[in-house]
Every structure is written in structure tokens, then in C-alpha cells.
Amino acid sequence: MSFETLGLMPELVRALSDKGYTEPTAIQSQAIPAILNGNDVLGGAQTGTGKTAAFTLPILQRLAEHPNAKAKGPRVLILVPTRELAVQVHTSIREYGKNIRLRTAVMYGGASMNPQMMALGKGLDILVATPGRLIDHLERGTAQLHRVETLILDEADRMLDMGFLPAIKKILNQVPKQRQTLLFSATFDAPIKQLALQFMRSPVEVQVSSQNTVAQTVNHIAYPVDTARKRELLTEILSERYQDQILVFVKTKHLCNRIAEQITKDGIPALAIHGNKSQGQRLKALSDFKAGNVRVLCATDVAARGLDIPLLPLVINFDLPMVAEDYVHRIGRTGRAGANGDAISLVATDEGGLLRAINRLLKQDIVLEPKPGFEPKHAMRMDITPPGRGRSTGHQSPRRKPSQPGHLKSHGMASQKPKHGGQPAGRRDKRG
């Protein structure tokens, strides 16, 4: 199958060819025709499957085929949970639509309001926004949504996790009831379907991966280690993988900065990215990482979704996430688009309950094997209830006896993608 057979116009096919894309992915081949036909679409797919293009390409075509007179307010509104994802989606729109004359803008918290107000005042075809910043403009009267023909919610599950539901409902009250609505999510959990029932009209459901599954191209390993020796083990792994670029997830902003500084002192260039960094600092860090100017990027879960890092070979969980689903989101940074990747977790003995919750969610055990020289002093306890927000799903694993290192057997399973930091994301930055 080619993009032409999906009914895409030559201008879009040419832009795709310039990027080296000749065949649609599964989510694209199913979603694009439905969106072109004007259907509401409820789409679910793993990170790295081409989800952004699945909704970007058909809306670009619909706008090009039905031009409208200039007026205030966007014709297409795309809501995303984070600044990074907003920038990424807007960049994709500009790249795919480079042969089409359309007006686009992106807005998110932490950036100046004035340029955003000027863009809104000129009229737009497409607006990409985080909910919090869009609410700011609506309250100031600088944004008008009466012309919205298509509303898109991207990473809807993340927006719910971040507490954006009230903001989304406010925005829904401002857009026309007669519209096309597209909702894309990494998972189709019950809250997502409930949300869809509230504001979608007989949506076409497109699911190209089972709920909370992981990419089959990722090998997962968990190293049991004492908390006090985690940083030492991390440096050992980074030294062994000296040719690779590596994304390291930690649970707090303070630890994120500290680990990046310590790694750099060890002679391994590293940068930190988290919610306390300005948008400019975060984009610069990501740009330097992608360009290879730094080899290690330390991140809290603000970076778990929306980061498009091609061919990232390794993700390391310095800390396990408090919510099992976040493990899936984190690991989605590697093993993308069919490439192989590794996911290594440094698991302290008191994190056994978190690992058990992840295993239960994935319905398969992650390899637990001691790293020579870093064996923990105490055996891993797998029968401890995970602290905090343990909302994992999936089949209940049989209760195990406290396991010795190496007790969990599995031979390189798989993974997908994630989110999480030291605080619940919604408390971290609700304004996007």
C-alpha cells in the first residue's frame, strides 16, 4: 500500500517522499481514510507508529481542499498535554504541509503571550495548544474557537493523568457542537472511552496495538542493586555503552540535576530536562542530545511522552516509576519504528513491589539478574504492595515467595512508552 492509495493529494505525498516515507504505517492506513471521510475517530497506537502523521495528513488535505476566508479563530484545534509535544506536532504540521499554503501556530505555557496573541489575531488554519495556555487566552478574550471544524486530542490519557479534564470541558463549551472530533491515546482504558462517549459522535475505533502492550523490539533487563550503589552502577553501564546515546529517567527534578552533574564529572557529557527548566533550556537540551553534542539526557517524566528521538538504543530507569503504566510510556522512547532497543532498570530491594506491578501490567516478567560486582546485600522482595498510586492493570500474577536475584525468568521481552517525575504531572505544571 502507498500513500497515494489512501487518497492523499500529491503535495502531501511529495512532502512525505522528501522525508523518506513511502508506505503508511498500520495506524495511518486505517485512520487516514476515516478522517478524510469526515468521521470522528478514536485512535490508539504505541509511540513510534506514526500516530501524529495519521491525523496531521488528512486534516491538512481537508483544509487545502476547502479553503476558507480569513477570520479570527482556528479551523483546526489540536490539544496536547506538554510543551514538548506541542512543538513536535507543530513541527510535523509544517513539514508535511510545506507544499500547502496554510497558517499555523503553537502555544504553550512558559512562553510570551504577546506573539501568541498576534498569531490569534491574524486568523489561523491550525492551532496546536496545551489546555492551560489556551484557557489563559480564552479568559483574556484573545482566543476564539467558534470556527473550529476539527478538534483533536492527542495523548488523551496523559491529559487526563495531568488533571486537564476540567480545562478540556471548558474548551469543549467554546467549540461548535457540529465538528469532527479525533481522539488519540496510547491506551484505551475505561476513562478514555468514557471521555469519548461524552463528546464524540459514533467514532470509528482504530486500535493497532493491544492495551498497555510494549514494542516487541525492546529487550528488558532489571538489575537488583542497593540504593546507595545505583549511581555507581549507572556510570558502569554508561561506560560499557560508550558509543550509544542514552536517556536516563529519574523520579525527581533535584535528582535529575544531580545525576547529570555527576555523570558529566565522570567524563560523560550529560544534560538534564525537567519541569523546572525553561522551555528554551528544554528545547536546547533536546536539540543538543539529538545532534550528539551530549551523550546522556537525564529526564523526569516530563520527557516521557512526545519526545521523538530516532533510533535511541537505550533507556535506563534509574528509579522505577510509581505507576506501572508510566514504565510503558518511558520505554516507548526506544525500539521505535521496528528498530531494536534496550531497557535497563536499576531496582532497589524496596522497589520490588513496583517491579511486580509492572510485570502484572505487561503480563510477563522482566529479566531480573544481578550485575557482577553490584549484587545487593538483601534479596529482592516481590510481595510488597507498591506505594502511592498503584493503578496497574492486567492479570494478577501468582503470589511469589520473596525471590533471590535471578528468580524472575524471561528471555528478553519487550516494551513501549511512558511518563513520570518526582511529583504527579498535574501538580508539576498544569498550565502546560
**Residues 73 and 47 grouped into a single domain:** yes
- As a whole number, the mean pLDDT across the chain is 81
Range of 129's domain? 4-207
**Residues 164 and 272 grouped into a single domain:** no
**Residue 142 maps to which CATH number?**
3.40.50.300
Asked whether the predicted pLDDT for residue 312 surpasses 90, the reply is: no
Domain termination residue (choose one: 172, 207, 242): 207
Residue 212 lies in a domain: no
Report the pLDDT value the prediction gives residue 232, as an integer from 0 to 100: 94
Report the pLDDT value the prediction gives residue 427, as an integer from 0 to 100: 38
Task: State what percent of residues in the chain have pLDDT above 70.
Answer: 81
For every residue of 216-280, DSSP letters joined together read TTEEEEEEE--GGGHHHHHHHHHHHTTTS-EEEE-S-HHHHHHHHHHHHHTT--EEEE-TTS-HH
Residue 352 lies in a domain: yes
**Residues 200 and 258 grouped into a single domain:** no
Domain termination residue (choose one: 207, 242, 275): 207
Asked whether the predicted pLDDT for residue 18 surpasses 90, the reply is: no
**Residues 177 and 244 grouped into a single domain:** no
Q: Are 432 and 85 in contact (CB under 8 A)?
A: no
Instruction: Give the integer Cα–Cα distance in Å for 378 and 349.
Output: 7
**Residues 307 and 415 grouped into a single domain:** yes
Asked whether the predicted pLDDT for residue 112 surpasses 60, the reply is: yes
**Residues 282 and 146 grouped into a single domain:** no
Least confident of 53-67, 86-100, 271-285, 385-399: 385-399
Residue 87 lies in a domain: yes
**Residues 28 and 157 grouped into a single domain:** yes
**Residues 419 and 277 grouped into a single domain:** yes
Residue 325 lies in a domain: yes
**Residues 76 and 121 grouped into a single domain:** yes
Residue 348 lies in a domain: yes
Q: Are 48 and 187 in contact (CB under 8 A)?
A: no
**Residues 124 and 175 grouped into a single domain:** yes
**Number of structural domains found in the chain:** 2
Residue 430 lies in a domain: no
Instruction: Give the integer Cα–Cα distance in Å for 391 and 31.
Output: 30
pLDDT digits (tens, 9 = 90+) for 37-47: 999 999 887 66
Asked whether the predicted pLDDT for residue 104 surpasses 90, the reply is: yes
Asked whether the predicted pLDDT for residue 133 surpasses 90, the reply is: yes
Least confident of 33-42, 51-60, 112-121, 258-267: 112-121
Q: State the average pLDDT over residues 397-410.
A: 36
Residue 263 lies in a domain: yes
Residues 6 or more apart in contact with residue 430 via CB below 8 angstroms: 132, 162, 163, 164, 167
**Residues 194 and 226 grouped into a single domain:** no
Asked whether the predicted pLDDT for residue 80 surpasses 90, the reply is: yes
Residue 213 lies in a domain: no
pLDDT digits (tens, 9 = 90+) for 323-373: 777 787 788 777 655 567 888 999 998 888 889 888 888 777 887 888 999
Question: Which phi and psi (to 5°) does residue 313 adopt?
Answer: -80, -20
Domain termination residue (choose one: 207, 231, 252): 207
Report the pLDDT value the prediction gives residue 397, as an integer from 0 to 100: 35
**Residues 292 and 182 grouped into a single domain:** no
